[in-house]
Amino acid sequence: MSDHRYSSADIAVIERVIRERRDIRHFAAGKLPDGLLGRLLDAAHLGPSVGYMQPWRFVRIASGDTREALWRIVDAERVATAASLPTRAADFLKLKIDGIREAAEVLVVALMPGREAHIFGRRTLPEMDLASTACAIQNMWLLARAEGIGLGWVSFFDPDAVGELLAMPPGSRAIAILCLGPVAEFPSAPVLETQGWGSRLPMHEVLFEDRWKAGAGATPTAY
């Protein structure tokens, strides 16, 4: 056994928090415990990044007026998304897609400007700035779940509109609105799964050996 291996109990906790992480839309009243927001941001900032570029930037939404303006941007995209769905617009409009108005904290996560200068690891895959930032968000998400705090990643927005609202510099790009706060409960399964928008794919549909599996295609949509 490797000397670097964590204890079986520690490994079980890591597996549990991965398994029980949820994308939260419903929040309870209350604030985050003192110091937790800073620890969550520290966890994000410890994320891996290609070429060590650390492309993530965070904007904490402290003003009620700014939070309401952000919600209006999200709601406009909610309506536009519904209009683009071929068969389930009415079902989609019944979903709660954000907790911006109710969450204890709201953060906007953005890619920094000037990313083009970072070619280390990005010469053929420039989108690795986005992948790195997603890893940072996942760090935060897992720690939030372990702390019993809900986190929801909202992606229904026009990045240009959010950039204008937050006076972001040219070249930066908002990629996530994160809602964080206490919750009444964590669902036992992802909400989109329980409401018929998809299901967890079996491993044999996502894992291939040596080459792409003949006939394997895309994940089917539910609309």
Tokens of 216: 């394997």
Look at strands 149-154 and 56-60 and give their pairing: unpaired
pLDDT tens, position by position, 62-95: 999 999 999 999 999 999 999 999 999 999 999 9
The CA distances from residue 182 to 80, 137, 192, in Å, are 30, 18, 21
In DSSP notation, 41-66 reads HHHHHTS--GGG---EEEEE---HHH
Query: What angle separates helix 8-20 from helix 128-146, to the nearest 10 degrees?
Result: 110
pLDDT tens, position by position, 23-52: 999 999 999 999 999 999 999 999 999 999
Instruction: Report the amino acid identity of residue 165.
Output: L
The single-letter DSSP state of residue 171 is T
The CA distances from residue 140 to 24, 66, 96, 145, 178, in Å, are 14, 23, 22, 9, 10
Q: What is the pTM of this model?
A: 0.97
Closest CA to 149 of 9, 10, 24: 24
Confidence (pLDDT) at 2? 81
**Cβ 147 vs Cβ 123: under 8 Å:** no
